[in-house]
């Protein structure tokens, strides 16, 4: 806008263009004529001319890279060089001095999906971070825990936490928050979007209604168990017992309803948004005047989305252009997910004191190849990784929580889990390589009422 909070921004942006941008870009080696911005009517027109110049430099450099790749000889690069210290940093510093921006505040730059950068690009980004110019610019770099390197362009140095950056695992923040902040945030997001985008004023719970008959049956079972064995027992067992009461080939448990959708998203807001969009789109095609998502549509889209998640693994495994080593990792990950999903269902069907399981943990070191499979699972969003104090009192245990969006596939309860399955590194390897033997081991363990402490102690004693 030309008028921003009562301030005429156009003179500032024009001055920025002529006295800062043009000067810095010339110093970088740009020798062509610059667009004239003297007749620009809005700040947007000025910044659009800046984009034109930068895109021209990018195109010129891209052509050079193509010639360098295809040509028989090395071609010297004679175009402009816009480095961080002599171009980007002073540009950002000048921008933070605009009168309409908060005083003495840094500019935030978001670099999304940084794990898609190649190694040289990642090193360049790390070099920017290493300047620690947080008073002027702060970088928010997002990655699916698959960042390629922490080295800078100077091969002898790398960035370290917490000196150069602070690492935040969003899944840690959301899934471990006892105050349910994630659920509150999602509820607020849903209701705001419905109101301001679709002009629908309702609650998230009413827009994503639960299966009323199912919830009534679960509540009645809860009351019976509470009267017989107390609140805690009823809280742990009522929904599980209801799920087991459902007979027949067609599994009829309903995963719809706002609360279950929040749990199914596993603290990953993208899961919730993608799934909600599919539901809204289908509901709107059936009835343009959408006021809520029918439970039938919710359940159908949830099951389809859950299947789609695993289908991506199959597509990757069948990708003929993928490195065979990577294909092997994806195949191992699929085997591990299958073994664990069926294991958690076995526990749900058992008489174990902790029937609701959705995670496993191990102590000590693990085979590097197995570790790579687990790392791949985290980067693909199929596992959430964290650590906790070992029950043996020795060091930290490595914990992996399976994405609860997979609940419909393995007929699991997506609500908050209470038990962790202890596995030795050898048993994790068995789950990957031989599902049948692994499930036989789990069944025998359940039959003999082995608990986590026994298994963990056996691993230490052995």
- DSSP output for 255-292: --SHHHHHHHTTT-HHHHHHHHHHHHHHHHHH-SS-SS
Residue 133 · residue 89 · CB < 8 Å: yes
Dihedral of alpha carbons 447, 452, 457, 462, sign: positive
Longest dimension (CA), the chain: 85
Taking the C-alpha atoms of residue 230 and residue 233, their distance in angstroms, rounded to an integer, is 6
Taking the C-alpha atoms of residue 82 and residue 19, their distance in angstroms, rounded to an integer, is 17
Residue 75 · residue 8 · CB < 8 Å: no
Helix axes 324-349, 435-447, angle to 10 degrees: 20
| Distance from the first to the final alpha carbon of the chain | 71
pLDDT confidence of residue 45: 92
The encoded tokens of residue 258 equal: 């706002």
- Average pLDDT by stretches of 10, the chain with 462 residues: 60 93 93 91 92 92 83 77 91 90 89 89 92 89 82 87 80 53 89 91 96 95 95 91 81 91 87 93 93 95 94 90 90 96 95 89 92 91 83 78 93 81 95 97 89 48 34
Residue 244: CB atoms within 10 A of its CB come to 14
pLDDT confidence of residue 180: 58
Q: Read off φ and ψ for residue 361, nearest 5 degrees.
A: -145, 160
Instruction: List Cβ neighbours of 439 (8 Å cut-off, separation of 6 or more).
Output: 339, 342, 343, 346
Please work out, in degrees rounded to the nearest 5, the angle formed at the alpha carbon of residue 221 by the alpha carbons of 218 and 227.
140
Q: Give me the residue label for tokens 């993928």.
A: 322
pLDDT confidence of residue 248: 65
Helix (H, G, I), strand (E, B) or coil at 158: strand
The encoded tokens of residue 26 equal: 């010339």
Taking the C-alpha atoms of residue 344 and residue 240, their distance in angstroms, rounded to an integer, is 12
The encoded tokens of residue 308 equal: 């789609």
The encoded tokens of residue 345 equal: 């269902």
Taking the C-alpha atoms of residue 432 and residue 329, their distance in angstroms, rounded to an integer, is 10
| Closest by Cα among 298, 323, 277 to 408 | 298
Residue 358 · residue 401 · CB < 8 Å: yes
pLDDT confidence of residue 451: 56
pLDDT confidence of residue 394: 64
- Give burial (CB, 10 Å; 0-12/13-18/19+) of 313: buried
| Closest by Cα among 370, 364, 382, 381 to 422 | 364
**What H or E segment, with its residue span, contains residue 107?**
strand 107-111
Taking the C-alpha atoms of residue 111 and residue 85, their distance in angstroms, rounded to an integer, is 18
Helix (H, G, I), strand (E, B) or coil at 361: strand
Please work out, in degrees rounded to the nearest 5, the angle formed at the alpha carbon of residue 247 by the alpha carbons of 242 and 250.
110
pLDDT confidence of residue 133: 86
Taking the C-alpha atoms of residue 340 and residue 407, their distance in angstroms, rounded to an integer, is 11
Q: What's the length of the chain?
A: 462
Residue 172 · residue 143 · CB < 8 Å: no
Q: Read off φ and ψ for residue 89, nearest 5 degrees.
A: -60, -50
pLDDT confidence of residue 450: 66
Residue 192: CB atoms within 10 A of its CB come to 10
């Amino acid at each position: 806008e030309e008028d921003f909070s009562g301030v005429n921004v156009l003179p500032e942006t024009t001055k920025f263009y002529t006295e800062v941008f043009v000067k810095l870009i010339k110093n970088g080696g740009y020798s062509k004529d610059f667009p004239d911005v003297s007749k620009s009517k809005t700040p947007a027109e000025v910044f659009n001319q800046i984009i034109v110049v930068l895109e021209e430099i990018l195109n010129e450099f891209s052509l050079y890279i193509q010639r360098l790749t295809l040509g028989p000889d090395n071609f010297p690069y004679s175009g402009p060089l816009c480095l961080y210290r002599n171009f980007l940093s002073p540009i950002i510093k000048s921008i933070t001095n605009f009168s309409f921006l908060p005083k003495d505040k840094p500019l935030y730059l978001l670099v999304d999906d940084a794990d898609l950068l190649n190694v040289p690009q990642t090193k360049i980004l790390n070099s920017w971070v290493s300047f620690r110019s947080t008073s002027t610019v702060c970088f928010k770099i997002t990655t699916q825990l698959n960042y390629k390197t922490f080295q800078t362009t100077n091969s002898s140095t790398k960035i370290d936490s917490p000196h150069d950056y602070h690492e935040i695992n969003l899944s840690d923040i959301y899934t471990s928050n006892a105050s349910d902040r994630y659920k509150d945030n999602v509820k607020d997001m849903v209701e705001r979007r419905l109101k301001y985008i679709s002009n629908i004023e309702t609650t998230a719970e009413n827009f994503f209604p639960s299966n009323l008959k199912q919830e009534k049956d679960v509540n009645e079972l809860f009351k019976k168990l509470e009267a017989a064995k107390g609140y805690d027992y009823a809280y742990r067992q009522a929904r599980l017992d209801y799920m087991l009461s459902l007979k027949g080939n067609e599994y009829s448990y309903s995963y719809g309803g706002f609360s279950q959708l929040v749990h199914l998203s596993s603290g990953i807001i993208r899961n919730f948004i993608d799934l909600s969009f599919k539901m809204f789109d289908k509901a709107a095609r059936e009835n343009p005047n959408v006021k809520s998502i029918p439970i039938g549509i919710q359940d159908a889209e949830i099951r389809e989305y859950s299947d789609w998640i695993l289908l991506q693994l199959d597509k990757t495994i069948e990708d003929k252009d993928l490195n065979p080593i990577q294909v092997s990792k994806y195949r191992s990950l699929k085997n591990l997910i299958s073994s664990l999903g069926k294991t958690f269902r076995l526990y749900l069907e058992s008489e174990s004191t902790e029937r609701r399981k959705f995670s496993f943990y191990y102590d000590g070191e693990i085979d590097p190849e197995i570790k790579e499979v687990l790392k791949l699972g985290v980067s693909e969003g199929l596992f959430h990784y964290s650590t906790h104090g070992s029950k043996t009192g020795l060091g930290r245990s490595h914990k992996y929580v399976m994405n609860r969006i997979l609940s419909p596939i393995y007929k699991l309860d997506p609500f908050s889990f209470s038990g962790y399955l202890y596995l030795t590194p050898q048993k994790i390897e068995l789950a990957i390589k031989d599902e049948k033997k692994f499930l036989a081991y789990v069944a025998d363990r359940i039959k003999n009422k082995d608990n986590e402490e026994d298994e963990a102690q056996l691993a230490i004693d052995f």
